[in-house]
Amino acid sequence: MSGSMSPSDQGFLRQFSLLIGGLVVLTIVLIFAGYTIYSHQPKETDHASSRQVAMRIAPDGAVYAGDTGRAAMQAAQEAAAKAAASQVAYGGTTDGKTIYDNLCHSCHTAGVAGAPKLGDKAAWAPRIAQGIDTLVKHAIEGYHGPDGNFMPPKGGNPALTDEQVKNAVQWIVDQAK
């Protein structure tokens, strides 16, 4: 055996090297395509993280000085009071009829889920006999009756205050007397 290769070996090496070269070029093209696709995808944003950063760099308080400061402080207090009032249902009204008209009528007009209808003295009599405090407690905490009737807590509106619920219950009871 001398050191020369046969023509078939030379053909194999030529084809093999072309195959390897083609695979290298294909690999580079696929890597470039993958990078291009990845770089055009929108990045995930963590909204909680941006809120945390904003809270962390926000000032702890404010300085109010002179008439300008007093006006700014009053405006801030009014804005806070308005924001607090908006968290209470129906602007904070304690009128039982208004609360009934906005919320309670949906069940107590049609008798949904076994709700006694407004003004139905026969249906309300045994409930009124339990006492107004029991009715208010059931209206605030919710109630599942033995006969399948159901009252969601605060009529399904958690923004109601206990006083609003009590006044609505009192107004409904007054209609059944």
User: Beta strand pairing status for 143-144 and 150-151?
Assistant: antiparallel
Residue whose entry in the numeric block shows the structure tokens 């990078």: 35
Domains and CATH numbers, the chain: 92-176 (1.10.760.10)
Q: Where are the beta strands (DSSP E) in the chain?
A: 143-144, 150-151
Per-residue pLDDT of the chain (177 residues; tens, 9 = 90+): 467 889 999 999 999 999 999 999 999 999 999 999 988 877 777 777 777 888 788 777 666 667 777 788 788 878 777 666 556 777 777 788 888 888 888 888 888 888 888 888 888 888 889 898 988 888 888 888 887 788 888 888 888 888 888 888 898 889 887
